[in-house]
Amino acid sequence: MSAGSQEYSAKNINVLKGLEAVQKRPAMYIGDIGSRGLHHLINEVVDNSIDEALAGYCDTIEVIINKDSSVTVSDNGRGIPVDLHPEENRSALEVVMTVLHAGGKFDKDSYKVSGGLHGVGVSVVNALSEWLKVEVKRDGKLWFMEFRRGAPVAPVKSISNLAKKETGTKVTFFPDGEIFKTTLFKFDTIIARMRELAYLNKTITIICIDRREEVEEKEVFHFKGGLVEFVQYIDAKRTPLHKPVLIEGEKDNTPIEIAFHYNDAFDENIFSYVNNINTHEGGTHLYGFKSALTRTLNNYATRNGLLKNTKIQLSGDDFREGLTCVISVKVMEPQFEGQTKTKLGNSETKSAVETLVNEKLAEFLEENPAVGKKIIEKCLRSAEARDAARRARDLARRKNALDSFDLPGKLADCSITDPEHCEIYIVEGDSAGGSAKQGRDRRFQAILPLKGKILNVEKSKLHKILENNEIKAIIAAVGTGIDLDFDISKLRYGKIILMTDADVDGSHIRTLLLTFLFRYMRELIKHGKIYIAQPPLYRIKKGKEEFFAFDERERDDILKRMKINPKKLEALNDTPESQELDDLGNIKGVTISRYKGLGEMNPEQLWSTTMNPETRTLLQVNVENEPDAHILFETLMGDSVEPRRLFIEKNAKYVRNLDV
């Protein structure tokens, strides 16, 4: 090492001023620079409007995707202050838009509670936008300020007079294409979050508009029933056993609202929120609810003699099977922990929730004995099914099918044992499995071929699921166990990759696998361990040159580089008698093949296109909105046919390359 490189002094310390830190390391502030981070920009702006609503000053929020793909978020709150900030010597509006952690939510006189997961505020949106414009209605005037990549174009100015009662804020921004991988907003992603916020805040109306197409799309969300309607929305495809139970009140300065009901399904779905943030990892508010639910129902069942004819001991899991519940608490100073900072750590919140649920649920059960009896009967049926599942699991273990140390014979394992450096391909069919086994890198890639389609777990009880050979093979290979036995520390592979054919059967198998993983190994999805392989759709060969395309656009780009007009290709396909086609129906000198199955690729092709970490494309599976994901799986894989038919009709226009 040279003497020069050893020099380390004050001049080596770089200070990023203003919003430079955000622009240099955007993922630290919004999670990532992909689609999720892009949509988080909207959430940050909307969070400010929600804070105004929680404080009682706003009841309407509008989110618009404009024709130029910029986004406008407006509300009828008090409007961001525009007067001179006493310490900064510039307008408060400019401070809010250019200084991190500046805003009214840090002053509890302005906001008792506030949302926003990262707490970074609208200044980060400004920093990551090519341009941003703010209009503020307050003090009888319309104020305007514009920014370019976070920097003010000019000071705030009044552009017109208004009636004094008119107040509100409108922010319009265009994401910086030099920072984000994509600047394409998805309307479905936006409305999913806005719908969720409308359920959680029943006094608010949220209007969503997409103006990019000739006919604009519009959704209006306002739910007077709040969480009760939320629970009914989540379970719209299921049969409830009773009307939702609503528990609301305040304990220890913590407003608490909970709605739940039981349905005829087998799984438990509890969605918890703190200050409108979905706490995916739960936390103290969830512990408090579970503890109170078990204790109160157990006491009620014992006191009313509802357990006297059974030898089965009810557990907390029995009391939650078939339960759909939404918990929403408002905490003044939330302390988040966990991998994704979505686990509440405030110990006082547990006792607050527990106390309120104990009181209110006991009152409800005494006043509604018929509902109480239905719930306990459901719990007893759950306990019996759980006991049958336990016996099936024990039997399977005795046969070594679920023992992670006795792996399924068809698994071609890898030689490295460190999970962080290993990956497993779950492959459709023996043919593709054979190619994958020959083409893989044996050091770190394991192959598990599946025979046929696995069981649809959405329609089956756990003891039936454990009898399915393909599911048992997956459980044994992955190593974590499922359901109550799940332990992510026993995971044998850092990446679990689903590799199925690009046809209808392949899509169905992939959906069956995702349903199983979502219902019984959801932690793997939450920890980013599940991926979907992207085998190519097309092989283009010209002489000794061979190219692979993953979609039509990439195929057409390759053809253009070969000096072939893709439109000409379509014309040739329509007129097979064309002189430019050879006897096989291909353009002379060029062979275009469309793969329908992985088995059509030889091991070398499968490796180079789909399995080589240097060249492959993998899609990571994540859940952006758990309630909507739950509804989607129930729609696609549940018993009801009508919702599935409506889903297909609505989404048929997006289908490409349908193979039947």
What is the set of active-site residues? 428, 501, 503, 505
| Separation of CA 523 from chain center | 13
d(CA 389, CA 461): 8
- The angle formed by the CA atoms of residues 201, 202 and 207, to the nearest 5 degrees, is 80
Residue 293's H or E segment, with its range, is: helix 284-303
Output DSSP code: residue 240. B
Q: What is the DSSP string of 412-471?
A: B--S---GGG-EEEEEESHHHHHHHHHHS-TTTEEEEEE-SPPP-GGGS-HHHHTT-HHH
What DSSP line would sit under 346-363, residue for residue?
-HHHHHHHHHHHHHHHHH
Euclidean distance between CA atoms 429 and 228, whole angstroms: 45
- What are the angstrom distances between the C-alpha of 350 and each of 200, 293, 344, 475? 20, 13, 10, 34
Q: Strands 323-329 and 336-337, how do they pair?
A: unpaired
CB 444, CB 416: distance < 8 Å: yes
Encode 87-105: b = buried (16+ Cβ within 10 Å), e = exposed: eeeebbbbbbbbbbebbbb
Query: Residue 637: enclosing H or E segment and its boundaries?
Result: helix 626-637
Max CA distance (Å), the chain:
88
Beta strands in 227-309 (DSSP E): 245-251, 254-262, 269-274, 277-278
